[in-house]
Every structure is written in structure tokens, then in C-alpha cells.
Amino acid sequence: MTTFHTVAIDGLDIFYREAGSRDNPTILLLHGFPTSSHMFRNLMSALSDRFHLVAPDYPGFGNSSMPTVNEFDYTFDRLAEIVEKFIAAIDLKQYSLYVMDYGAPIGYRIAAKYPERVEALIVQNGNAYEEGLREFWNPIKAYWQERSPENADQLRPFFTLETTKWQYTNGVRSLEAISPDNWNIDQHFLDRPGNVDIQLALFYSYGSNPPLYPQWQEYFRKYQPPTLIVWGQNDYIFPAEGAYPYKNDLQTLEFHLLDTGHFALEEEGEAIADHIRRFMTTHVKERTRL
């Protein structure tokens, strides 16, 4: 059974889903844009018999608090700080990180800071290399260079229902396999007053991530976390070019390109769950029961 909780972090209500026994290895699931812990709903059910799974919503996303841009510093540094405090608040000592999209720069900040806590990495379309930032990113890179109203206006179409639906359907094999609940739920949260300003702030802050790529790559090389790549190869946002460089830095790497798009769990959820089950059984030790 998945249960639903809220914990207070720095005066904010941080919502999270939890499934499975704490006696089992923990997987901390970090979601992408523009979604929330909702993206992990099926995966948590599939793996809860063998693992302890925790999936928070970041501030401004899903069911967590949504302070305005004047009340909260919407940067990836700050989101990582909130997740770090969340980890402490719910008393996670060791965990594997499942990172996707925005979850990668949040998770890698934490992993590089606390490498001894991270038992393994599971990477679904989560970028840590310049090779993974291609054509999709050009208007966002222009915003990094000049945070002008004109450049911001070029990004506003990213927050529409049409684009949210496109994120779920582009590159999939079967449109009939993708539930419209995904984009309808995500769009509900995007359409809240003030949320576009939040997302524009984070689009701008994403420019702080590429300068950290060498630091994260050094973490990979030095600490060699066992890593499972489960990547939707037809993703236009984070294309497969961003998956291959992990092979250069990680020795214990299981690599799977899946014939689907950005939100690979929607079409390849069963395959990803099977890969995680085998990978974790091989590389992450069971908890020692007292």
C-alpha cells in the first residue's frame, strides 16, 4: 500500500508518497518537470514488496506548498536543500536515488555532498553531461544569457496544456498506452496563479547546473555508485546523447535505452521495474535485521 504524508520543512508543507517496509533498501524517487510524485505511482506499487520507496513533491509542484517567487528562492540549490532537509526529517540514513529530469540536478547535488549515503543510482532521462543539452534547450539557453521579458515570452508555451501533453506523447510507440490523467493533473498545478513565474525562475536557474557537471562527473569517477540507466531513447528534451557519457565515468553500469519518450515510466513501467528489481538485488545489500 502507498501512503500519503506531509512534513514541515522550513515552514513549507512537503508532500510525499511512501510504500514498502523500512526494513528493505530505500529508493528515493525524485521527479521531473512539470510533474510530481504522481509520476511514480505505478512504480511504487510494483516495487513495494521488495523495497522501501519515498517520493516527495518539491515546493511549487504537486501537493507541496507553493510559495510565490517573492516568498521562496526557486533555484536548484534551494530545492536540493529542501530535499536534503526532507531526507533528514524522515530519517533516511542510506538510499538509492532514482533521478529523472529535474530530479537529476537535485539528486546529484545531494549525492556529491553525501556520497557515503548513496547506495546506487537509477537514472531515467536525467542529464549530467553537455552532450545531453541539444536543440530543445536553445530558447532556454538564450534566457540564461539574458533574463529579459522577451526571452521569457519565448518560454511561456512550455507551460501550456498542448506542450504538457506533448511531453508525455512525443516519442512513444502507442498513444493509447498513455493516460490523459498525466497531463491533466500536471496542467492543473501549472495553471495555478503564480506558477508560471515559478517555472520561469527554475528555467533560469537550470543554467546553474551545467557548470556543476564536472563536479558530478568527478563524484561518479571517485565514488563509483552502481548505476542503472533506463532511458527513453526517443526523448527530444533529454536525448540519448546524454545517456552514453555515463559509460565513460562509471564502472558498474547497467545501460538500457527504451523505445519510448521522455516519461518512460508511462509506457515502459513494467520493464523499468524489472530492471530495478534485478539491479538492486545484485548491487544493494538487504538491510540487516536487528
Could you say which DSSP state residue 286 is in? P
Instruction: Give the integer Cα–Cα distance in Å for 113 and 115.
Output: 6
Number of separate helices (H) and strands (E) present in the chain? 11, 8
Instruction: Name the active-site residue from 52, 262, 275, 283.
Output: 262
Q: Report whether 111 contacts 121 (CB < 8 A).
A: yes
Starting at the edge strand that comes first in sequence, how are the strands of the sheet with 227-232 ordered? 2-9, 12-19, 52-56, 26-30, 95-100, 118-124, 227-232, 253-258
Nearest-angstrom CA–CA distance, 162 and 135: 19
> Which residues contact residue 108 at a Cβ distance below 8 angstroms, ignoring those fewer than 6 apart?
99, 128, 212, 216, 219
| DSSP alpha helix (H) spans, 26-75 | 41-47
CB neighbour list of residue 278: distance below 8 Å, 6 or more residues apart: none
Residue 83, CA atoms < 13 Å, CB-side half-sphere: 30
262 catalytic residue (yes or no): yes
What whole-number distance in Å separates Cα of residue 34 and Cα of residue 61? 8
Catalytic residue set: 262
